[in-house]
Chain A
Amino acid sequence: MKKRIVSLMLAGVMILSMAACGNSSGKSGDTAKSVELAVTTTFAGEDTNAQNYKDAYTAWEKETGNTVVDTSATSDETFKARITTDFETGSEPDVLFFFNGADANSFIEAGKVVSIDDIRAEYPEYAGNMNDDLIAPSLVDGKKYAVPVNGFWEAMFVNMEVLDAAGVSMPDGNYTMEQFKADCEKIKAAGYAPIAAALGNIPHYWWEFAIFNHQSPKTHLEIPAGVDDANGQAWVAGMNDIKELYELGYFPENTLSATDDETFAMFTDGKAAFLIDGSWKVGGIVGACQSDPEDPSTLDEEKLDKFDVTYVPGSGDRKASDLVGGISMGYYITKKAWEDADKRAAAVSFVEYMTSDSVIPAFAQHAASALKNAPEVDESEFNILQVKAMRMMAGATSLTGAAQDLFQGECRVSTFDGMPEIVTGKVSAEDAVAEGLEVYHNQ
């Protein structure tokens, strides 16, 4: 009898549960427009736009009633590996903010993201506020996939205090390598390190410009077929230029054993004069001028004013004002989200919102964007170094992408990690370039 009562009670509970389930399905049907969107970006950690990103997607959530499941992480090799694995295992996000160069090749080859043209076939206004010429095409099929937010530039930061002490004047857009070497000699004689660079750790910027100085904006992005062709010889000459600067003693004494942080500290502490780096370093220099790097109100403006940014010395067909830069990242919509009837509209809405004319200026700041109608810049909103950066950018004669964005992976080893061997003469520039190109063409 007892068993019968228990059975009846269980049956009753089951019926009630099923009824409850039925009710909940009904409710979810009522709120079908609310979508949970998985989004992964690199706006995380110490990225200057991490807070801007949070603010922007929170505003989008409020506006649409949708939810963002944010899995953003700092952009590093682990992050790139995670994205590759996610796509391979079918656990990719719905929307991804990622690189548009060789890093994206694997998931584009696998057809896991949707091109802008395919999205426009259904949503004609998609990325309509962008200048299409500035959206980088995929290296795989030439189609455009990633809607850009902010660009980058690479230039030469200057510590004016060191220049003044050495009696060197601020370089301009006509700065040549010969003038640069003469200035370095004066700076070295004054007891300072002319160039802040850790050749054993981050030789990337010097690699890029040293090669660029033997090419032109037109030829810079052509990866040489071999070491013997004109571009190959330009690469070799670039490596030999760095070797010459090393032998002249223009890099810090510990350039082969120092980390990038150490040489950057030399620059901000007034022990080195020149630093070639990217637009993201503006934030780093500003941080070094704050007594509390986390608190912008502690900025020492007088100290910041001692830093400036100018053009990397030019040579041959490359003028100093021919910069390396562009837009290397953007928002992708994955095929997984596109094929989900509920998520398709939400993903499009999200990307449109995050790349709108009102949101992008907060992200782009002093760097470039691909907006058709770039908003007027109010200089009073920026610090002195950002203003100097904007003025420097205004004088740029061309903006060419970074060749190293096309030359990724194992092929870099012989000339990037191998830079100490090149400058110390343990390996010839010719051999190092030949080895890298061979790996590149076999990849």
Chain B
Amino acid sequence: MGANIYRNKKPAFLFLFPAFLFMAVYLYYPFFKNFINSFMEIKQLGSSGSGFNTPWYHNYQEMVRDESVWVSVKNTLLMMLVTLIGQVGIAIVLALMVDNVRRGKQFFKTVFFFPIVISATALGLLFNLLFLYDKGMVNQILEALGRETLIDWKAEGTALFTMMLPVMWQYVGFYFVILITGLNSISDELYESAKIDGATTLQKVRYISLPLLHNVICTCSVLAVTGALKVFDLPWTMFPKGMPLKSTFLTGTYMYYHTMETKNVDYASALAVMIVILGIILSKAVNMIFREKDY
């Protein structure tokens, strides 16, 4: 009688059903509908499709020809690289340094984690003010240091740097906290033994910390790369409509641009399908590259 309780899986399905229903209604159905919409002709935002495009795959044809699509994909891939090197890389350095300080670990944890709790839109507005052409803080500092002309940080040559810097800065603390937790789980005995053997600090990092952090670094890398695909609010706040000259579009901002600005909803739906496919491919690739090791 007692064993039957565990054999009967029906109650488990019953409890899983509400969550499944929620996902089906609010995720899978909209995605399926979006897929259909990508072949339809939709005249404006909020209205339903008036029929299929001619040819029905027109939006996908258009996507291949659209230069801004390629710009947005290129920028998104660049954003991934920046998040990997900038976010995870800097977080590793910070975590290793903070792990070696005797006092104030908690202080640094709080300071580095703080940007995470600020909304991306607020950060976008903040960095907008920092990089403002006229009266922006950065240009004011440069002016005080003797520079005579103002730098347009949002011009074509510098826009990507200006856009990616705050994104990178915002999430360093997130990976820092994960990594420092990983470092804390490494037994002190290993470091003590290494010390007795005469290992320097750098050698301890090279031969103890980094190898034992491998799986944590892999997890952070997967999170960073997949997170880069979803970056939207901060870039859109700082560079609406892919300004300047449509050079700062990411896949997410480009889809939003076509939904809300040009009202080309069916094309935006096709872009959304592309983003999902791109996300699946990249996630698989990243999971393969950063495969965790069994110890």
Binding site for B on A (CB under 8 A): 77-78, 80-85, 88, 106, 200-201, 252-254, 256-259, 262, 265-266, 269, 271, 409-410, 412-413, 417, 420-421, 424, 426, 443
Q: A81-B45, A259-B240 are in contact. List 4 more A-B contacts (CB 8 A).
A: A80-B45, A201-B240, A256-B155, A420-B244
Contact digits for B239-277, partner A, Cβ 8 Å, 1 yes 0 no = 011011110000000000000111110000000000000
The answer to whether A77 and B260 have CB atoms under 8 Å apart is yes
Chain A residues, CB < 8 A from B155: 254, 256-257
Contact of B132 among A252, A262, A412 (CB under 8 A): A262
The answer to whether B134 and A266 have CB atoms under 8 Å apart is yes
Contact of A257 among B150, B244, B263 (CB under 8 A): B244
Shortest 5 CB-CB distances between A and B: which pairs? A84-B46, A257-B154, A85-B46, A81-B45, A81-B46
Q: How far apart are B111's CB and chain A's nearest CB, in angstroms?
A: 31
The answer to whether A200 and B133 have CB atoms under 8 Å apart is no
- A-B contacts, 15 listed (Cβ < 8 Å): A77-B261, A81-B45, A84-B44, A84-B46, A200-B241, A201-B241, A253-B152, A254-B133, A254-B155, A256-B243, A257-B243, A266-B134, A409-B44, A410-B264, A420-B246
Contact of A417 among B44, B260, B262 (CB under 8 A): B262
The answer to whether B240 and A271 have CB atoms under 8 Å apart is no
Q: How far is the CA of A42 from the CA of B261 in the complex (A)?
A: 19
The answer to whether A254 and B245 have CB atoms under 8 Å apart is no
Chain B residues, CB < 8 A from A417: 241, 246, 261-262
User: Among the interface residues A80, A106, A257, A426, which one has the most CB atoms of the partner chain B within 10 A?
Assistant: A257
Contact of B46 among A83, A256, A269 (CB under 8 A): A83
Contact digits for B147-173, partner A, Cβ 8 Å, 1 yes 0 no = 000101011100100000000000000
Q: How far is the CA of A266 from the CA of B240 in the complex (A)?
A: 19
Chain B residues, CB < 8 A from A77: 45, 260-261, 263
Binding site for A on B (CB under 8 A): 43-48, 132-134, 150, 152, 154-156, 159, 240-241, 243-246, 260-264
Given contacts A410-B262, A426-B245, contact A106 B154 (CB under 8 A): no
Chain A residues, CB < 8 A from B47: 84-85, 88, 106
The answer to whether A258 and B262 have CB atoms under 8 Å apart is no
Chain B residues, CB < 8 A from A266: 134
Q: How far apart are B176's CB and chain A's nearest CB, in angstroms?
A: 32
The answer to whether B262 and A257 have CB atoms under 8 Å apart is no
Q: How far is the CA of A259 from the CA of B240 in the complex (A)?
A: 9
User: Among the interface residues B243, B246, B264, which one has the most CB atoms of the partner chain A within 10 A?
Assistant: B243
The answer to whether B152 and A257 have CB atoms under 8 Å apart is yes
Q: How far is the CA of A269 from the CA of B240 in the complex (A)?
A: 24
Chain B residues, CB < 8 A from A259: 240
The answer to whether B263 and A409 have CB atoms under 8 Å apart is yes
Chain A residues, CB < 8 A from B262: 409-410, 412-413, 417
Chain A residues, CB < 8 A from B152: 253-254, 257
The answer to whether B244 and A271 have CB atoms under 8 Å apart is no
Q: How far apart are A135's CB and chain B's nearest CB, in angstroms?
A: 24
Q: How far is the CA of A32 from the CA of B152 in the complex (A)?
A: 64
Contact of A262 among B44, B46, B134, B150 (CB under 8 A): B134
Given contacts A201-B240, A256-B244, A410-B263, contact A88 B48 (CB under 8 A): yes
